[in-house]
Amino acid sequence: MPSASSRRPRNITKSCPAPRGRLQSCSRVKRPGEGAFAVKVGVIVPQGWQGEYDGWDSVDAWRRTVAVAHQAERLGFESIWLFDHFHTIPRPTDEITFESFTALSALAGLTSRVRLGHVVICTGFRNPALTAKTISTLDSISGGRMELGIGAGWKRDEWQAYGYGFPETKVRLATLADHLEVITRMLAPGKSEHATYEGQHAHVRDAINVPKPVQQPRVPIMVGGNGRNVTWRLAARHADELNVDGMTPPDIAEALPVIRERCEEIGRDPASLRVSAHVWTEHMTGAGQRRVDQLAAFAETGISRIMTILRESARSDETLESFAADVRSAGLELAA
């Protein structure tokens, strides 16, 4: 999920939603020795995008995805996540990559506690009203466990292979802005609240979205990306959470004051915008004390959640078992 450029789009006209009273703030986490860190941990389950299912039969691969999701739930991880990609990286191959919404729909019905979401969906792949409708339905299927992660998109070969073209960065960011305007209207509570919005890159007119999400006032929205000038301003304006991608703990510590500024610019309480991190595999290496120290370093920045993929979980139950042990040793939060 490398971020798009952060030049400002033109179609941002609405004010920031009021802070959501049910959401946790980004308060400073506890130091080692003071008890558990107030940091949740999510697992990105195997999907094939990173080559973890190369050579697999698709039915066997899907069964393994389900098994990892069940294991993550049993071990106490807070959430499970999928990427929104169509074929493998770093180059497209003829190997398995499961479509994210289809897979997440199945996992919503096959799990009972973990929260579910994308890291993150690409605005260019779907109509925003349909995205909102799909997320609302998934919130019913899951019993109120969905999260909506969304970003501008970046992987050129997928866009072009699937017929979406590949607009320049400022257009993709302006599209993200318009999609957020539509989605926030579609997810607004109240059956009689029909959505109307006219933007350059998205529009709806008297659109009905019923059932509304189980979660109120809406499904939490997580904007993903590292663009300080546009993406972070969009998160401050529309989101409940900002997800930064591939940053190290020093990167995050340096970014947090800027994120606070983006909230303050529009009069939003910075504590009402959670910050999470998609931690790349190379920033979460090995097992044992080295990984414990890495986890603690991320927690000490003050973020509210981390999510990471452990590719070997496609092949071994021990991968998540050892990760859960290291999470506990680092003092991060797992469900009992």
Write out pLDDT tens, residues 63-73: 999 999 999 99
Residue 16 lies in a domain: no
Digit-coded pLDDT (tens) for 123-138: 999 999 999 999 999 9
The pLDDT tens digits for 21-67 are 333 333 333 333 344 568 999 999 999 999 999 999 999 999 999 99
Answer whether residue 118 shows pLDDT above 80.
yes
Phi, psi values for residue 93, rounded to 5°: -130, 175
**Structural domain contains residue 285:** yes
Residue 294 lies in a domain: yes
pLDDT in tens, 244-290: 999 999 999 999 999 999 999 999 999 999 999 999 877 777 789 99
Q: What is the 3-state secondary structure (H, E, C) of 23-80?
A: CCCCCCCCCCCCCCCCCEEEEECCCCCCCCCCCCCHHHHHHHHHHHHHHHHHHCCCEE
Say how many domains are in the chain: 1
Strands 40-44, 148-151: pairing kind: unpaired
pLDDT, tens digit, 9 for 90 and up, residues 212-256: 999 999 999 999 999 999 999 999 999 999 999 999 999 999 999
Is a pLDDT exceeding 70 seen at residue 292?
A: yes
Query: Could you tell me if residue 221 is inside a domain?
Result: yes
Per the model's pLDDT, the better-predicted residue between 37 and 100 turns out to be 100
Q: What is the pLDDT of residues 72-84, one digit of tens each?
A: 999 999 999 999 9
Can you give the CATH number for the domain in which 49 is found? 3.20.20.30
pLDDT at 73: 98
Q: Is 171 helix (H, G, I), strand (E, B) or coil?
A: helix
Q: How far apart are CA 296 and CA 210, in angstroms?
A: 42
Q: Rounded to whole angstroms, how far apart are CA atoms 305 and 273?
A: 12
In a domain, 280, yes or no: yes
Q: Name the nearest CA neighbour of 84 among 150, 129, 164.
A: 150
Range of the domain at 325: 40-329
Residue 11 has pLDDT above 90, yes or no: no
Asked if the structure places residue 142 within a domain, the reply is yes
Residues 185-215: tens digit of each pLDDT = 999 998 778 999 999 999 999 999 999 999 9
Rounded Cα distance, 179 and 239, in Å: 12
pLDDT above 80 for 96: yes
